[in-house]
Amino acid sequence: MNAWIRPLLSTFSLAFLIAAPAGAQLALPTVPTLPTDLPQRTLDSMQSSVNTVNQELAGLRELQVRTLLRDHPERVDTDPRGALVIRGEVVAIDPSPLSLQRARAAGFTVTQERTLDGLDIRLVVLRATTDERTRRALARLRKLDPDGLYDFNHLYTGSAAQSSAPASPPTARMAQGNSGAWRVGLIDTGVDRRHPALVGADIRTWGCDGVPHPDRHGTAVASLLVGTEKDTARTHASLFAADIYCGQPVGGTVVALVEALGWLAREWVPVINVSLVGPPNALLEKAIRSSLQRGHVIIAAVGNDGPAAPPLYPASYPDVIGVTAVDARHRALPEAGRGRQVDFAAIGAGLNAAVLGGKSESVRGTSYAAPLVARIAAQVAAEPQAGLTARIQQTLAAKAVDLGRRGSDTTYGYGLLGDDMSAAMPATANERSPTRTIGRE
């Protein structure tokens, strides 16, 4: 193993064992890019090193799963793909009365039942009364009701390592105030509303029965969405912050995530930032599709499981704007996901973000690149309306700095966006029509 890889992997393992679950961020020193003018043997050796790092990134996800299963066996389980789920729980989506009757007769109890008014979705959480694996419980329900729609209550924890350090110096800073009023939504962990970087914003919160659970990750993302540097003007921003973790060490459930989407839909918030990642889920897909159809824009981090990792969600759903991260030299972070889900890139290394205790530190990862794009979008989106996502994508693509091969690619999407571009954006994108089609089908 190359000398530069061994300490890197040791650092990773330690960070994952001691860090609480967080969002889509991951700390990783930059892997050298492959030059084109080196002998083939050297290129092969460097490519082998990169492949090794990709394998280790996948291993870190497995380590996170194993750690949570070990520490919280009564709370978590895995689906057939190895993704984390709430043990013994199955989510029924728009179930019929007959379906619920059959489920009760088969030994399931109803633990939650609600209608998400903002999304027109009815969900019921069923719990198996036996001590069977969750995947077996889901299989039984699907067999009882082949026409019904059931899925796991997946957990959205993203990359668990939260590595932040004093800036030295940061490549980007919390943005300056903007004179126009704008609204933006955040689905994440809890936010420290009293942090000096956030006192200039109007912050409204949801979740956890009104009990605040300020967290490092949510506070950092919020500061990049609506924060200001000390002694600068107010942002005139309203942040609608949904906490779906509530201090739980295992992460946020898909049920909480879609409930947060419903709240933001009812509050008529045009742009929503999600810096969390997880597996595909039928309930989440339905909620995302409903939110997009109602004219909301969803911007999500693509995750930090490495370029060889399978797509992560919600960033990989059609028409969700997926954001990757680059360093100060505009090179893709080696841990950042790649694929057709990547629409735009933003700086995601050396960012100066707020953390708990009134401090600010340097953070890294796609979790922190996504809010830079969401902030730009929110300042040009007045309200949700049909076709808003396409118009926002068009507006952003027109301002993006092309990176990589010409045009859209699977590493940088349509190119680099930065918060300093917000002043050059048009006054509104709500009434602009795209001149060309972009995005994923």
Lowest-confidence pick of 61-65, 249-253, 285-289: 61-65
Q: What are phi and psi of 172, to 5 degrees?
A: -150, 160
The pLDDT-based confidence of 36 (bands split at 50, 70, 90) is very low
- pLDDT tens by residue, 183-210: 999 999 999 999 999 998 999 999 999 9
The pLDDT-based confidence of 401 (bands split at 50, 70, 90) is very high
- pLDDT tens by residue, 322-344: 999 999 999 999 999 999 999 99
The pLDDT-based confidence of 303 (bands split at 50, 70, 90) is very high
Give the pairing type, strands 271-274 and 182-188.
parallel
pLDDT at position 251: 87
Residues 35 and 43: their CA atoms lie apart, in Å, by: 8
- pLDDT tens by residue, 345-363: 999 999 999 999 999 999 9
pLDDT at position 49: 52
Structure tokens at 165: 């350090």
Name the nearest CA neighbour of 159 among 59, 235, 53, 69.
59
- pLDDT tens by residue, 47-68: 555 556 566 666 677 888 899 9
pLDDT at position 422: 41
- pLDDT tens by residue, 180-189: 689 999 999 9
The pLDDT-based confidence of 432 (bands split at 50, 70, 90) is very low
Could you give all domains of the chain from N- to C-terminal order, each with its CATH number? 76-156 (3.30.70), 182-424 (3.40.50.200)
pLDDT at position 86: 97
pLDDT at position 131: 86
The residue with greater pLDDT, 43 or 223, is: 223
Q: Say yes or no to pLDDT of 213 above 90.
A: yes
The residue with greater pLDDT, 24 or 390, is: 390
* C-beta neighbour count of 54 within 10 angstroms: 18
Beta-carbon contacts of residue 174 (< 8 Å; ≥ 6 apart): 197, 223, 224, 227, 228, 229, 352, 353, 354, 360
Under 8 Å between Cβ of 305 and 329: no
- pLDDT tens by residue, 359-397: 999 999 999 999 999 999 999 999 999 999 999 999 999
pLDDT at position 255: 98
pLDDT at position 421: 46
Beta-carbon contacts of residue 196 (< 8 Å; ≥ 6 apart): 230, 354, 358
Percent of the chain surpassing pLDDT 90: 69
pLDDT at position 60: 77
Residues 54 and 329: their CA atoms lie apart, in Å, by: 21
pLDDT at position 28: 43
Residues 54 and 9: their CA atoms lie apart, in Å, by: 11
Average pLDDT of the residues in 418-431:
52
Q: What is the CA radius of gyration of the chain?
A: 21
Q: Say yes or no to pLDDT of 290 above 60.
A: yes
Residues 343 and 211: their CA atoms lie apart, in Å, by: 36
The pLDDT-based confidence of 160 (bands split at 50, 70, 90) is very low
- pLDDT tens by residue, 96-133: 999 999 999 999 999 999 999 899 999 999 999 888 99
The predicted model scores a pTM of 0.85
pLDDT at position 441: 40
